[in-house]
Structure 1
Amino acid sequence: MSSCSPKEPKPSQSTSPYEFDYEHSHQAEYKPQTELKQEQYAPPTTAVSLPLIPSDSQAPSHSEELNVDITPTPFKQESDSGKPRIAIVIDDLGYNYRNAETIAELPYALTLAVIPETPYAKQVAALAEKQQQELILHIPMEPLNRPKWEDGLSTHMQRAEFDSELKNLLDSEPRIVGVNNHGGSKLTADRTRMEWLMEELATRDLYFLDSRTNAQSQGIYAAQAHYIAHNQRDVFLDNQQEEQAISEQFQLLRSIAKRHGQAVAIGHPHDATLAVLQQELPALEAEGFELVFCSELLTRYTTKNTDPQQAKNTLSP
């Protein structure tokens, strides 16, 4: 494994403009938990793994989806054990090395989502490889409520600029197996640009996890249209950075996993989250839950779409 570049900061240094001021990351994107519960508890609607959209959404209805001709066959990976499965994704990695190291060394399957071009992005990728954890790219995408965000994908970008920026971001870490959105409450609602994203992911065989920072996200629909392996977040663990509140979110996670057979949670490298993870992960296994990588809970397709026009017309709201 290659050593860290001498130009990169030492783990003890504060390098982020936030270091890391987490309430200025996803916090502005979060909806109150009372607004999240409806979509979290909604039952699965079809084998195509449709997103759990609130009733007032303009997304296609279940009946409209069933009339779409999808040639590839979608399927969920079933558990060999029959246990309810849980995938936990840790977002916002790359600013704080020590917490990333502690998380990566936990003896449980975790999916690490690293923000590209952060001070410790390369070290986090190396940690994931060393500890045999899954690595995905946490791509900064334009939010609705923030005037400033990390460099990433924007609705102001035209196709050439968007493609160039996306390729640079993806090329920054070759060890990733998928991506999810960092922020993105504005960009993920832009169907055209989500189509552009999926076209590039298809060329690299990367999966897409929708963090669901906007109930109007087009991410899952665009992924389905291009037959990209995909899933979406069910629970944010640490909107409130207090151990009791995080523990309550783990109870919600248990409930969803029992009801649907699986669930995806997203957390962040807060000290409080780390403390609760160290308690909850062994407890989940002892209770009969199976902890897995996010890639094990995807809707996949038996074949790939080869007709760009069909992909463009598929599952349009």
Structure 2
Amino acid sequence: MNNFDLKSSIIYILIFIIMVLLIILKKMDDRNKDLSLQKKMEKVEIESQEEKLQEKTFDEKPHKIFPEIKNPELKGVIGIIIDDFGYRNDNVSDGFLEIDANMTYAIIPGHQYSTSFGEKAVNAGFEVIVHMPMENTGRTYGEEEFVLKTDMDNETMERRLKNALKQIPTAIGMNNHQGSKASADQGVMANVARVLKDKGLFYIDSRTTVETIGETTMEIFGVPTARRNIFLDNDDDEIKIEKQLMKLVKKSEKSGFAIGIGHVKPKTLKVLREKIPQLKRQGYKFDFVSRMLH
């Protein structure tokens, strides 16, 4: 009996020890799990803080600041007509097609490139008008089949005007080539006005004489019109051309807009290529003369 009690006691003791060990092991396991979970939570928290720090750093990173480029205040609108296209097809005539400005090109009818240059100019984004030959007080040069003379009848003048417009179908208006005599004649200018009125075109008075009645006749007939203010290149000299251009600039600043006339010449091209970009940066706008009519 004593042996049995001793064995039983030992068994109970062993069972107790095992249970205690199991409890200890379980607590250790739970503690390890808690530590593992805590480490994971700490890791997540650290990563979250790092992400927030990166976002804050990104947001607070100074942006690259570009200087604000303000458009210069508009000082004046300048319209430039270049006369005498039609008889040349070279680097000078093509050079005018490369100018970065709204310009109006006046083409003389009756020349080899009258029609083709009109098409090239319009395709390049420029405005085209007919540079209509008219009688001078002195000798009248060239374009005999188109020139308008004071001793012609109405039918002849009308036919010549329509033929000129037919040869340059891209034209949306007209100005006079020479014409110091014809532009002062009521009969000639009335015929010009009637044809332009019928076609819905405009007229720019080149003012080759102080006695011109071109602009006033157009007003009477209801034809949109305007006048030339400055000739740019009567003297084929770069310094003088530049001075005339600056007169045109000052006129545009004073009156709001101004129209200048130049010719398809190398020196005129050179001055305009150089000065137009500068003037645009200074606040002057170059526009088609069709937008300066009254």
Identical-residue share of aligned pairs (%): 33
Q: 1:86 corresponds to which residue?
A: 78
Instruction: Identify which of 186, 191, 210 aligns with 2:205.
Output: 210
State the number of aligned residues: 219
Residue 124 (structure 2) pairs with residue 135 (structure 1) = no
Give the TM-score of the pair, scaled to structure 1.
0.67
Aligned pairs for 1:1-317 within 5 A: 83-98=75-90, 99-151=92-144, 152-299=147-294
Partners in 1 of 2:74 and 2:201 — Cα distance? 27
The 1:153/1:84 distance shift into structure 2, 3 A limit, reads: same
The 1:222/1:147 distance shift into structure 2, 3 A limit, reads: closer
Conservation of the 8 A alpha-carbon contact between 2:86 and 2:113: yes
* Matched residue type, 1:88: I
Quick check: which one's helix share is greater?
Answer: 2
Conservation of the 8 A alpha-carbon contact between 1:179 and 1:207: yes
Question: 1:132-154: CA deviations, max 9, x gaps?
Answer: 10000000001112154422111
Q: What secondary structure, in the 3-state scheme, does the structure 2 residue paired with 1:208 have?
A: strand
Runs of 4+ in 1 over 4 A off after TM superposition: none
Q: Structure 2 unaligned runs (5+)?
A: 1-72
Q: Structure 1 unaligned runs (5+)?
A: 1-80, 300-317
- What displacement does 1:288 show? 0.4
Give the TM-score of the pair, scaled to structure 2.
0.72
Question: 1:287-309: CA deviations, max 9, x gaps?
Answer: 1011000101111xxxxxxxxxx
Partners in 2 of 1:132 and 1:120 — Cα distance? 18
Conservation of the 8 A alpha-carbon contact between 2:229 and 2:260: yes
Partners in 1 of 2:142 and 2:171 — Cα distance? 22
Partners in 1 of 2:202 and 2:232 — Cα distance? 22
Question: 1:30-88: CA deviations, max 9, x gaps?
Answer: xxxxxxxxxxxxxxxxxxxxxxxxxxxxxxxxxxxxxxxxxxxxxxxxxxx85410001
**Rg comparison, structure with higher value:** 2
Question: 1:203-236: CA deviations, max 9, x gaps?
Answer: 1010000000011101011100011100010000
Partners in 1 of 2:140 and 2:78 — Cα distance? 35
Partners in 2 of 1:185 and 1:210 — Cα distance? 11
CA root-mean-square deviation: 1.2
Q: What secondary structure, in the 3-state scheme, does the structure 1 residue paired with 2:129 have?
A: strand
Partners in 1 of 2:162 and 2:140 — Cα distance? 24
Conservation of the 8 A alpha-carbon contact between 1:104 and 1:110: no
* Matched residue type, 2:130: L
- What displacement does 1:253 show? 0.7
